[in-house]
Amino acid sequence: MTCIYQTRVTNLGKMVTNFLVEKMIILFKDNAPEDLADYCVLHSENQVFDVIQEQDVLVLGDAEYKILCVGEEVQSNLQNLGHITLRFVGSRTEGLGGSLYLEDKAVPTIHRGDRIAIYRK
């Protein structure tokens, strides 16, 4: 497997759990604007090694999710801001170019220290 992306969760905004019922997680690098940080899973490092593609696999903690669609802004937003939205909905929603669309599976519980990675098999 080839690692495409990796980082580590450093903090959880106090409103993160509100989005889990919507089957989404908002990622932002540690330097997120203060008014957004409460809604985000904050992370460090933000190591992007290659272009994310459909059929790559997102690993969050112990859970794996196949990537079904990559929004047109995901690559640049991830590289420049460490900011994308993970949507565990099984298909693409119109107009959300900064989102990574994943299998429709249960959204994992996230903890500080969890590894987030994307692999190509």
As annotated, the active-site residues are 43
Distance, CA of 24 to chain centre: 9
Determine contact, residues 100/118, Cβ cutoff 8 Å. no
Q: Where in the chain does DSSP place strands (E)?
A: 2-12, 24-29, 41-48, 57-60, 63-70, 84-87, 99-102, 115-120
